[in-house]
Each structure stands twice: as structure tokens, then as C-alpha cells.
A and B are shown apart, each in its own frame.
Chain A
Amino acid sequence: MAAETKLFGKLKTAEQEHEDPKEQLMFDPRPREELNRMVMEMMTTTTKKFWLWAIGLGVGVVVLLFGAWGYMISTGMWVTGLRRPIFWGVFIVTFVFWIGISHAGTFVSAILRVFKAEFRRPFTRAAELMTTFGLAAGALYPLIHLGRVWVFYFMIPYPNARWLWVNFRSPLVWDLLAITTYLLSSTIYLYLPLVPDLAMARDRTTGIRHSAYKILALGWRGTEAEWFRLRKAIQIFAFAIIPVMFSVHTIVAWDFAVSQVAGWHSTIFGPYFIIGAILSGVSAVVTILYILRSTLKHMDYFLRPEHFDALGKLILVFSMAWAYFFFNDYLLGWYGGEAAVRQILTLHATGPAAWVWYLMLICNMAVPWLTLWNRKIRRTPWLMFIITLTINVGMFAERYTIVPLTLGHQRTPFDWGVYTPQPVEISIVLGTFCLFTFLYLITSRLIPMVPVWEVQEGQVAHTLRKIGKAEVPTVTELD
């Protein structure tokens, strides 16, 4: 950690109350052309290691995901570990996990934008990309877990020769609509702030890349009118996408909550899932930011300990909020007094798979609560990487507890069952992790990973203002 404080060439004691403003990205401005050059270099530099990873992950996607999925389609679902009474297994677990991850982008980007949290500037795009790719990975699962995926279009409401309509009472239809809405809107929301950066890239590339950026930049020239419209559009989208984000995970929670299954039938699942999604999503943003910072050229200029610090505080708050909802779920379930629910809750903590439950508690509560209160830890990127990875392991365990473990304990002991994921299922899960990483890896070299115009805007507009005793960075000149 001592080495970490020297990172920017300045030795700083931990007791130092007010950090040097120069440590903050907003007060360490560089010329615009310099920033543009750095982002362009970041985008175009590829090492041998990068290509090895890209090829490895690409093979992973083809073999682990599509190979295993194809095998499962051709042989039937018996290759999974599903059995009566556990009809949803690790596929649904990972589905909820990815949808949770996808909340990060919107949360970090839209909510922080709406609240004008200035530390968001350099990593909004990294977060938005997570939303889009997390959804891409997650949206595969409702297809993967179908018994007859080849007729998945039966679920899409469109006038058809079968004379059939979908059942709008089914949460699965709500799911389909919510996820497609979210995918579409988050992609647009990713694209809007990207336009000026694409124009920047267009002006600094040649050949095929130039032509591609030219099309994607939609003829952006940077006139006053264009900026005005862009800001307006981003503002509208930032506000509009927040309810969409909340609705998506609430609906995913309703998949469980509207059912009759003891342990799922809980009104708190909506907000509980949202908090969990935000916790895992923001954690995943930190994980990704650490990887970006240590692999992309010049990224350590844009991503600084202050950002890990700020996100660390957010994670701590959400971990506590998650704990509140978690215990609420248990408390009300216990107080409700339904014998089956009580039994399930007891068996989570004492049954054969209790280690999953304890893993969840340790990773989601013990780890962040014991570490993230500490400023020094929050400002150490590699430690934050480990902590946030742990939190996501915990969140996976949480979903695992909710889906197969709860299903395994039914109302009558005659129907109880145990579920063990089988190789094909594990392979598909790993395959979607490969897919996400692969898409992210490739995209990091195709589009500017730092919204450079937002950073420039922030650097130009930031001033320090003394309010009381503290010096507060403000952006009073903007908007």
C-alpha cells in the first residue's frame, strides 16, 4: 500500500486530511489534443497477450458456450442436473447474476449523471458497456434453459398463423419485454455519449476504421446546435432509463415472487433483488476498472484511486442496504409463521448446502464491512479488485441459494431434492463469462473506452470553491 501512494510521483501520508487537488483527474488537466491522443493510443495498442486472450476467449465462447449448448439441444435436458422438484438450476442463477451485473452501467452512469457526481466522468462508458454485454450474456439464458429452444418465438407477441397470443399474465413474458426494452434503451444510452468520441476517432484514423467511424459518428461536426441536442438527449435518456433499470430487476424478482413456491413467495423480492443487482453491478464495475487500468495504455491517468475510493463507498452503502433487505426477507418470513418457509430458512443455514449460504454472508457482508470502511484499502486498486470479485462470488451464492436450494426444500419432505450442476451446465456458464469478456475485450479496441469529451468538459469546468472549512470541487459553470 505504501507503494500505491507513490503512484503519481508524490509521497502522501495517510493522515493527510485534504489530498492534493492534483491527485484528482478533474484538477490534473492535460491539453485536449493530448487527451485525444492518449485515448486513441489506448484504443489502437494491442499486445501479443491481448491477442492470446482474445483467441482463447473466442475459442471458449465457441466450445464452452455454443458447443455445450448445441450438445444440450441435440440430446435433451437430461445432461443437466435438474430433477424433480428442482426444475430451475444454475442457468437461472446465472441469468439473474448477469441481469444484476447489467445494472451497474445504468446505475453508475445514469444515476451518477443525474445526481451530477463528478467522479463518474472517466468510467461511464466502461460501465455502460457492462450493461450492454451483461444483458447480451444474460439474455441468452432464457433461451438456453428452454426445453424446446427452437420454438422460442412462441413467447414473442406478434400476429401469427398459429392464431395464438402470449399469456401476458406470465412473468416470463414480462421478462422478455423488460429485457428487450432494457437492452435497446441501454444500447442507445451507450451510443449517445459515444458519438462525439467516435467523431474524434474518425478524425484521427485512416482506412477502414475511418470509414467505419464515419458512419457511426453520424456526421458529427461539433456545432453548438449538435452539442445542445446531444446534451438534451443524454439528459432525457439518463432520466428515462432509471425507471427502466428498476423495472427490469423487479420483474426478474417477480419471476420468483409471484409464484407459489415457499421461500420465493415474498413481497420484498423486488427491492431486495434491485439492491443485490446494484451491489453486484457496482462491484463488477470496480473489477473491470481494475483490469482496464492495468491493461490499457494511459488508463492509469484516467482511473485513479479517487475513483476506486468513491465506488468503494458506494459498495459499502449498498452492502449494508443489501443486508437490511436480506434480514428483512428472513425476519418477515420467520414472523409470517408459515411452517414451510420457516423450514426452508432454517435449512439454508443448517442443511447440506449451508456452506453456500455462509459463503454469501461472508462475501457480501463480512468482507466489505471489514475492509471498505478503510480509506487506504479503498484507494488500493488491487485490493478493491479482490474485494469486489469476492462480493460477486457472494452474489452468485445468493442467487444459488434462492433458486435451486429453495426449490429443493418443498412443502412436503417427500418432494425434497438435491441439485448438483453438471459439466454441461458449468461449461455453458463459463461460456457466457467468456462471451462477456470476449465482447468487452474486442470492444475496448474498437471504441474509445474513456468518454474523452466528458473528461475534458469536467476538467475545463471544475473549480474549487470554499464552503465552510472544506474546499469542494464544483461545476457551477455547466448547465
Chain B
Amino acid sequence: MAEVSIAEKWGLVVDQDRCTGCNACVVACSMENNVPFTGEDNVAFGRGTYWIYNKRMWEGEYPRVAPAFQPVMCQQCGSAPCEPVCPTFAAVHSEEEQINLQVYIRCIGTRYCANNCPYHARQFNFQDPDIPEPMNSYLNPDVTVRSKGVMEKCTFCVQRIVGGRQTASAEDRPLRDGEVTPACVAACPSGALVFGDLSDPNSRVSQMAQNERQYKLMDELGTKPKVTYLKGGGRNGG
């Protein structure tokens, strides 16, 4: 780690006009991050654990209705409501990557952060993960398996960010734009998700975040989210 850029500011652009609602991001995320499968009953009850989920809404008036999709994950707020309320610093801001991290080992499960998150990106482990015998081989060794009673949430695949940075450092070169992709971005078939460093004005994500279609989710709350949504409708598709 010879040269650590501390100016990184990772961000994501979600092009809703391109999203087809296929949920590939949800699946990829679950596999990458060892997100527990809680079972049909729990999902129906409202305890399904997803680090990214797809809000399905309807647009237009009958009979001209069309589904609209809004993939929602942790917005990695610059001023995150979940952080100050945690009594044990389990929800912390990483200085280096400028994202919100959840330190599972510190979490005592007050669930205050989950109440305070306006995006409902935070998930609670109501029980220990149930991983039957051959399935444990699928677990990603880079990501902790969480026990019952702790909160968890999207980390922008921080393990991939760190991995990419280490590779770049080993090859003695700066990190290239598009080199690091979270699992959801890698899996998106329609290219609706774009990930990159917002501190670099020439990166693709920075360019796209300037788009006229851009908006931030619940921007009025002052959370300074790092996820930008693009939604134009009409000739933009969607």
C-alpha cells in the first residue's frame, strides 16, 4: 500500500430508465456478500434480507400503465442518519473510501440505525444464518458471515474496492476508472448501474451524475447520498 489515495469518493449511478427490474443485482449481491437467505416465510413477513432491493412501482393511468423500477441500496450518505445514533460506533464512516461501514463485531443490535435510515437499506439478522452443508462452499471468504442480532447493509462491496486498490498498488499504478465494480454493477445486464470514483471529474460515474435526468433519493433530508438516480421517462425509455 505505497500510495493510498485518500481522496476517493465512491459513488453509484442508477439509471432507472435502463433498469428492467430483473433482480440480477439482488442475486449477485447476496452471493457476493454472504447475505443470508431467510426463507419464504420470513420474506413474506418482511424479514427478507437484501442489501439491494428493487422497488416496483406503477406509472401512468390505467390502461396505459407501466412498471417502474427503483433499485435501492445503502445510499452511502455523506451525512448519514445511521451513524450518530449508534451507541457503539458500529455504524462508522470510512475516511478512506467515504462510505458508511457496519462493524458487525461492535454491533449490539439496538436497531436504532435501522429506524433512522430513511431508505430502509439496513437489515437486521433476526436469526443465525442457516447454511446447509454444501452451501457453505459458496460463501465468499472476503466477507464476514453475520451472526444473529447484528445489523448489516450494503458496503459498496468494500472488499472489492480494497482488492482493486491492492492490485493497482502491486502493479504500481493508480486505480483505473471502472476497474472496481460491486457485484450488483457487474451483474446488471442492461448497464443501469454505473460505479466509480466521484472525486475524479473525468470518471464515467461523475459524468453520468451530471446528467439532466439526475436526482437523489430524499435529497430534502440533507443526507447527501452518494447514489444518483437517473429518471427521465419518455424518449429516454423506462
Contacts and interface: CB of A to CB of B under 8 A. Distances in A.
Contact of A411 (B106, B148, B218): B218
Interface size class of B (residues with CB under 8 A): 35 or more
Given A76-B149, A146-B149, A147-B111, A83 B47 contact: yes
Contact of A164 (B89, B107, B148, B218): B89
Given A82-B126, A88-B115, A148 B149 contact: yes
Interface string A69-89: 000000111101011110110
A410 interface: yes
B149 A261 contact: no
B115 A154 contact: no
Interface string B43-68: 00111000000010100000000000
B37 interface: no
Chain B at the A interface: SS class: loop
Contacts of A407: 115
A169 B112 CA distance: 13
Contacts of A58: none
Chain A at the B interface: SS class: loop
B150 interface: yes
Nearest to A413: B57
A46 interface: no
B216 interface: no
A169 B113 CA distance: 13
A147 B109 contact: yes
B88 A145 contact: no
Contacts of B57: 414
A254 to B, nearest CB: 11
B127 A148 contact: no
B120 A410 contact: yes
Given A88-B115, A147-B148, A172-B85, A155 B106 contact: no
B189 interface: no
A476 interface: no
A205 to B, nearest CB: 46
Given A76-B149, A145-B110, A172-B85, A260 B47 contact: no
A344 to B, nearest CB: 14
B42 interface: yes
Interface in B84-99: 84-89
Interface in A373-416: 407, 410-412, 414-415
Nearest to B151: A147
Contacts of A170: 84-87, 112
A147 B150 CA distance: 6
B23 to A, nearest CB: 15
B112 A148 contact: no
Interface in B120-147: 120, 123-128, 147
A4 B119 CA distance: 59
B78 interface: no
B101 to A, nearest CB: 14
Contacts of B151: 147
Contacts of B114: 84-85, 87
Interface centre among A149, A165, A167, A171, by most chain B C-beta atoms within 10 angstroms, is A167
Interface in A230-267: 255, 258-261
Contacts of B125: 76, 147
A77 B46 contact: no
A154 B127 contact: no
A173 interface: yes
B162 interface: no
Given A76-B148, A154-B106, A260-B221, A417 B111 contact: no
19 contacts: A76-B127, A77-B149, A78-B127, A148-B108, A148-B149, A149-B108, A154-B87, A154-B106, A155-B87, A165-B89, A170-B87, A170-B112, A171-B112, A172-B87, A172-B110, A259-B116, A410-B120, A411-B118, A414-B55
Interface of A: 75-78, 80, 82-85, 87-88, 142, 145-149, 151-152, 154-155, 164-167, 169-173, 176, 255, 258-261, 407, 410-412, 414-415, 417
